[in-house]
Amino acid sequence: MSNNNSEYSACSFKTSIGGQALIEGIMMRGPEKQAIVCRKPDGTLVTKIDTIRLVKERYPILGWPLIRGVATFLSSMIMGVQALSWSAEQQPEEIEGEPDKLDKWIEEHFSQETAGKLIIGVAVVLGIGLSVGLFALLPTLLAGLLNKALPLGVFRGLAEGLIRICIFIGYLWACSQLKDIKRVWQYHGAEHKSIYCYEHGKELTVENAREESRLHPRCGTSFLFIVVFISVLVFSFIRTENTLARMGLHLALLPLLVGVSYEFIKLAGRYDNAFTRAISAPGKALQHLTTAEPDDSMLEVGLEALKLVMPEEKGKDIW
């Protein structure tokens, strides 16, 4: 794949290749393949490459605007948990940790293949449940309690939105203080720098990637902030005072909010103008919490994963 680098160095462009930071590794996903590259404790790199088929190719309706955002989000969650699980398996047992009681029960009662799928499914459901509970339902509940103590009237939606944003930023800050997470954030930065290096048409070397920014507009952090921000706008106009009704509306409208947010992320990732820079700015600011400057060994991992998913056909991955 290295002989492809010169083909892409002619000019800058926006790529559809995206990634995810893992435990001592990075997953990159291109138009045809997904690659995971992890560094083992002895310093060697291990890779896992899979051919992918987009869901919209099997079900075209899932590629429609608004709908594709929800489909992409769920697909990314599932594949992200699978990649994270595989990266953990590459580390020593004391780092990987013992499986919890639920995982042990599933492994004891189902075949290895079925158990693996069930464990991934449970992790995805719990992850979505935690996100919905923490960022959608909890702020509504807290605003409802505040409204009982201090009637907010037309400002209830605003108070709810401020609480939601504070919880979101507080959660990211708390995660950034964990020692193990800091290394994941460094790999996150390496992922962004590697993609920027590729998009800017540079030779894919550690030296070139080191000079790039670790803040990228097409990032999961930016996507989540846009979801939160749009929900704040929408619910500032909803005058329903009943807390349970507002919580129910949040659940009902969540797929639409995700779909709309995805379309904004696509715009931000494809174009560079005053509007896209404005909608990208808050998310990129938050990436100071969810990314960190990587070392050269991490950049090496990111670049290797990127090279493995670059398409043979030039331009097939243009965003």
Q: Are 157 and 236 in contact (CB under 8 A)?
A: yes
Largest CA distance in the chain: 67
The structure tokens listed for 285 are 């600011």
Asked whether residue 96 carries a pLDDT value surpassing 60, the answer given is no
Residue 248 has pLDDT above 50, yes or no: yes
Q: HSE of 27 in the Cβ direction (CA atoms, 13 Å)?
A: 23
Q: Measured at the alpha carbon of residue 310, what is the angle toward residues 306 and 313, in degrees to the nearest 5?
A: 170
Domain ranges in the chain?
A: 2-309
Lowest mean pLDDT among 5-14, 142-151, 199-208, 242-251: 5-14
Enumerate residues 6+ apart whose C-beta is below 8 A from 17: 28, 29, 30, 31, 195, 198, 306, 309, 310, 317
Which residue, among 68, 133, 73, has the nearest Cα to 263 in the 3D structure?
Answer: 68
263-283 CB burial, b ≥16 within 10 A, e <16: ebbbbbbeeeeeebeebbebb
Write down the pTM of the prediction: 0.85
Q: pLDDT band at residue 93, thresholds of 50, 70 and 90?
A: low
- CB atoms closer than 10 angstroms to residue 226: 23
pLDDT of residue 53: 78
